[in-house]
Amino acid sequence: MTNRSGLREIGTHADLLKLTGGDPFVRWGIPDPLSGAALANDGAVAIERFGRRGRGMWVFPVASGGGMDDIRDLLEQLAAGPVRDLAITGISVPQGYQGLLDETFGSGPSGDWDWMWTAEAPPQVSLEDRLIQLDDTADAEELTALASTHSPTGEGDPGTGRTQLWLGLRNTRGELTAAGAMQLWESGAPHLAGIVTHADYRGQGLGRAVTAGLTRHAVAEYGVCTLGMYSDNAPARAVYTGLGYRTAYAWHSRSPRQLLAGRRRPAEN
């Protein structure tokens, strides 16, 4: 089926997975059945997302080898109607295509981050045997204090019910020194969040132990584990790749509030 923007609509998750050649992000990051629109041209696809920050779209090439021209054409087609019609507030593209997003919608605040995954249990690591399970409600105040002081950008959201499992470590005085959460991504796949280590204990492998424990649990229960990280966080990348994670996409995401406001108007004749 083709919509009024000239894009064809992808009807099922299976069709989308085939179109993208079994892409791991589509397999574990996109809901099945599809929760929103999936639109494609000959070489690229746009997938509607309903996330915590609003209604967005993932835009990336398909398995047949789409490139710059296909992404540019797709963004222009989206700008001609679907972005407005669907009330899209944010768009993410692979980082190599961020200039095309600027060309179509104008520049504005944005962020670069990686979506990573593994389907294998990690190797056993030091301190993992000392992990304890924490309670989302009873330990919420302590978890919030740890994150707000030592990792303000963390997204564990203790006390909200979003987390399926909290694991952490305490020192000999019983103080919380590290913690992390396993939540469920929009697709239903487990996704790690809110991993934080007290500043006084960094460099001792606490975050690695928390990540390994959460990953081990997720893979055992769901067969996969996913996470997101800021692309410039080299220490975190070393931990995650050491535990077997691979990057499916390095995303460039435009700030939701700036997307439509920053869109360039056609030049007047």
**Are 61 and 73 within 8 A, CB to CB?**
no
Gyration radius from the chain CA atoms:
20
Give burial (CB, 10 Å; 0-12/13-18/19+) of 108. middle
- Domains 8-114+251-258 and 121-243 in one fold: yes
Domain ranges of the chain: 8-114+251-258, 121-243
Check residue 266 and give its pLDDT: 43
Q: Indicate the fold that domain 8-114+251-258 takes in CATH.
A: Aminopeptidase (3.40.630)
Q: What is the pTM of this model?
A: 0.90
Helix axis angle for 234-242 and 206-222, nearest 10°, is 50
**pLDDT band of 269, cuts 50, 70, 90:** very low
Residue where the block lists tokens 């892409």: 23
CB of 44 within 8 A of CB of 70? yes
What is the topology classification, in CATH, of domain 121-243?
Aminopeptidase (3.40.630)
pLDDT digits over 16-72, tens only? 999 999 999 999 999 999 999 999 999 999 999 987 767 899 999 997 766 899 999
72 HSE (CA, 13 A, CB side): 6
Q: Residue ranges of the alpha helices (H) in the chain? A: 13-19, 24-29, 68-79, 82-85, 98-105, 140-150, 206-222, 234-242
Q: Which token pair is 248?
A: 């499916």
Residue 258 pLDDT: 52
Q: Please state whether 97 falls in left (phi above 0), alpha (psi between -120 and 50) or beta.
A: alpha
